[in-house]
Structure 1
């Protein structure tokens, strides 16, 4: 069965989705400031272009949208009902690209933290999870140095 044509309204809606400075990204940055973590934005020279980078700690943070990056088990990672084959292929490419970038970064000694869009809905819980993730990555880096 042939895929239905592209809906111009859907296409316009998808064009408005921003790539940077999204609400979840701004929330994560606010949380990092509250925790006293220094960072730079958009690690364009790093695999996967992490959203937030701390080069001294070799820390890369990705803020993933649950829909686009397919957060497993999340209600926000639904699949559109039209052009499903197109969307499945697109999502598979996104997930593979994310996996490959994370693998390359870890092979080069970087710690990678992924924050999902749905995790940014509860700021206090996000702070707690980031604090735990960051303390784990900092401790493991210190023990690696010996």
Structure 2
């Protein structure tokens, strides 16, 4: 399909691209039983170690409400544990469980295949440039409140 004319609204263009790419990854992660946001949450917890909800929300640039909706099924399925933070009982701490690590181990090759397929379709150089541009965008102070 030929590219459509660029959207005049940056927000709309970014959101459309995000949905398009998420659908691509979701289809490839489906055999693991995880969605792309769920995979991202578990992978970040594995990388970061135990984290508070606020820390993870800030890391993922996600508001707490959206993060909470994504955490519930992961907790229900025993893939992560949510408990009071031992350092501050008012905060909630997230921990990846053994079942969560196992599910990540199942999903990781699917994610790697999705990443390779994306790079093959979009172009490895274009993909790397896109990630760099998006990292710069996320680091840019747009004058908005932080996640959480």
TM-score of the two chains, using structure 1 as the length reference:
0.30
Q: Which has the higher helix share?
A: 2
